[in-house]
Amino acid sequence: MPTIFFMRSLVKVVPAAILMVVLCGPATAGQKDGFKVNDPHYGEVLFNFYQQEYFTALTDLLVSRDFNRLIHHQAEAALLEGGLLLSWGQHEEADQIFERLLSNTDDQAVRDRTWFYLGKVRYQRGYVDAAEQAFLNIRQPLPLELDAERLNLLARVYIDQERYSAAAAVLSGWEGPEIWLNYARYNLGVALVRMGQLEAGAELLSQVGTIWAYDEEQLALRDRANLALGFAYLQAGLEGNAKPILQRVRLNGPFSNKALLGAGWADSANNDYHKALAPWQELNRRELLDSAVQESLLAVPYAFSQLDAEPQAAEYYARALNIFDAEIVRLDVAMDDMGNGQLITDLLDQDQSSAGGWYWQLASLPNDDRARYLYFAIADHNFHEGLKSYRDLMSLGEHLDVWQTKLSTYHDMLNTRKNAYSKRLPILNERIAEFDVVEMQASYEDLQQRTTAARNEHDVLALATASEQEQWRRISLLEDNITWSQQESAALREKQSILKGLLLWNMEREFNIRAWHQDKQIEKLGEEINKTVRNFTSIDTTVGGIPETVFEFDSRIAFLQLNLDQMKRKLQLAKERHATYLYGLVVGEMQAQRKRLVSYRAQARFALASIYDRLSMKGQ
């Protein structure tokens, strides 16, 4: 029975979907000139995202969200965060984000995109029924690419539930982008075949099997459709229809081995064993690990036996036995070698890519005998995604190492500040002691009182200049201390009186102006004194608080270091468990290979023994 084919993996198509959400989300509804970024920090997140710096984009997004810097892009940011978490395999966290977004928004466009992601997450986690409900909650058409993916996913859900008629109802008559339409036709064709509607299913599979393919993905889809249709015909007993369909499959594609095997069985079903030998002998020369190649090692001697060429059949059975025995030994040795704990490390030894990338592929395999057994394990989606997750764990470990180095640097910086504080504090205290703030304030208050008294008493001399006060003193001294002669008395006293009056008149004339300026200067002086007092108070508080601040930073660094150590221990445990899981997948595949080889070896021995019995009987 043909299997469902969905070459576009769920993880691989996430970036395109996220970009469409970001560029076509609710913030851009009605706009025709592209996406407009209203929050600069969100623009920075998008910049890192487009540069495929997914970890940096995610951390920047989380920081900006916590500081409330994404006021205008909250919904898009939540969707992007969920998508980025998906790329790191954090399905549960992404699920929580999408469900929280659903409960916090009434915007149908946001809700529909959120339901799409939620359905996708649930399907990836194997919650088929919940995924169906999420897809059915979408009320409005999604952007073209997302809507095509939604319909194909929904059809996959129905097929997984063995509800083939429902899958057919979803895909029948649907028109969309050509690549998705071909997948839809393939899946619908398979569903119809499983429903027993071979003719209708064959028509769709034939359409996909004859498409013009322009890339490897479409070529593989075309081959897979022809393979599925060919085996459907074989199972229906229509061997004559099966062979020309199977011959459409490329000779060097990923499905060529099974197509060659099927073509041989189509000929053998028609008792044309001479023709069956051609594809089966071609398979004999190919990589033994493929189950179709292994089966062909038994099919070739079977064909010779059916042609009554028993010596040749015995020769090929004996050859198959030798090949199976040697391969079982190689498998046992390889499984022992893989148990040294180095398998996963060796796989990722040459990888230099950044983590969290959706399109990451393993570039090379270890250059040893284990490599040939890893091809089929790595081709498995579960193993490849598991290896990607292990790679992401390694990258997270590198980030933790960087942060630990930064914490050590912060600790050194703090110690440097402590030393500087201990050296500068005595000097600072000495300088502070030179200023008597209390005396300064007392002098200011005395000056203020004397100025007020001079204004109230109209004391012009108090506001006179130093020169005027000196002149007033000298004139007054002349008046009080000089003995005037009778002849000079009247004239000198008159001059002294004129000078004194002139000086007094000048001081009187300037009094109001001087009083006003004096008030302003005293007011400004008061502000400076208050500022000085505040500065001294601030210095005193700062100096007194330095030990507490240093202690606070010490405590924070110690707390972060503790968290970092815990995360590194958890990460190491996760890596060990994940490595064990991946090792189990590889060994499981190898054990399945060994079990199959043992079974084929037993069949070959039995067939060879039967041939020898028949030959011996003929000899008698």
Q: Are 566 and 358 in contact (CB under 8 A)?
A: no
- Model confidence at 485, pLDDT cuts 50, 70, 90, reads low
The pLDDT, as a whole number, for residue 547 is 63
The pLDDT, as a whole number, for residue 103 is 77
Averaged pLDDT, 94-103: 78
- pLDDT for residue 115 is more than 80: yes
Compute the distance between CA of residue 543 and CA of residue 537 in angstroms, rounded to an integer. Answer: 10
- In percent, how much of the chain has pLDDT > 70? 80
- Model confidence at 30, pLDDT cuts 50, 70, 90, reads very low
The pLDDT, as a whole number, for residue 620 is 42
The pLDDT, as a whole number, for residue 545 is 58
**Ranges 203-207, 351-355, 361-365, 531-535: which has the least confidence:** 351-355
pLDDT in tens, 156-195: 888 888 888 888 888 777 777 777 888 888 988 888 888 8
The pLDDT, as a whole number, for residue 363 is 55
The pLDDT, as a whole number, for residue 353 is 52
Q: Name the range with the highest mean pLDDT among 11-25, 135-149, 237-251, 468-482.
A: 237-251
pLDDT in tens, 550-562: 667 778 888 888 8
The pLDDT, as a whole number, for residue 527 is 82
Query: Higher pLDDT residue, 410 or 23?
Result: 410
Average pLDDT value over all residues in the chain: 79
- pLDDT for residue 17 is more than 60: no
- pLDDT for residue 318 is more than 80: yes
Averaged pLDDT, 33-39: 69
Q: Are 249 and 256 in contact (CB under 8 A)?
A: yes
Which whole-number Å values give the CA distances from 586 to 357, 363, 376, 385, in the listed order? 23, 18, 9, 13
Query: Looking up tokens 């809700």, which residue turns up?
Result: 111
- pLDDT for residue 289 is more than 90: no
Full-prediction pTM beyond 0.85?
no
What single-letter DSSP state applies at residue 499?
A: H
The pLDDT, as a whole number, for residue 259 is 93
pLDDT in tens, 134-152: 888 888 888 888 888 888 8
- How many Cα atoms are found within 13 Å in the side-chain-facing hemisphere of 398? 11
Compute the distance between CA of residue 596 and CA of residue 294 in angstroms, rounded to an integer. Answer: 9
Q: What is the DSSP string of 152-202?
A: HHHHHHHHHTT-HHHHHHHHTT----HHHHHHHHHHHHHHHHHTT-HHHHH
The pLDDT, as a whole number, for residue 245 is 93
The pLDDT, as a whole number, for residue 544 is 59
- Model confidence at 20, pLDDT cuts 50, 70, 90, reads very low
Reading the block at residue 118, the tokens are 């939620």
pLDDT in tens, 564-619: 999 999 989 988 888 888 888 888 888 888 899 999 999 999 999 988 888 777 75
Reading the block at residue 19, the tokens are 């970009």
pLDDT in tens, 233-277: 999 989 889 999 999 999 988 899 999 999 999 999 989 999 999
Residue (of 609, 593, 607, 606) closest to 324 by Cα position: 593
Task: Find all residues with CB under 8 Å of 405, minimum gap 6, and list them.
Answer: none
464: phi > 0 → left, psi -120 to 50 → alpha, else beta; which? beta
The pLDDT, as a whole number, for residue 142 is 84
Compute the distance between CA of residue 391 and CA of residue 351 in angstroms, rounded to an integer. Answer: 9
The pLDDT, as a whole number, for residue 549 is 66
Query: Higher pLDDT residue, 597 or 450?
Result: 597
The pLDDT, as a whole number, for residue 532 is 77
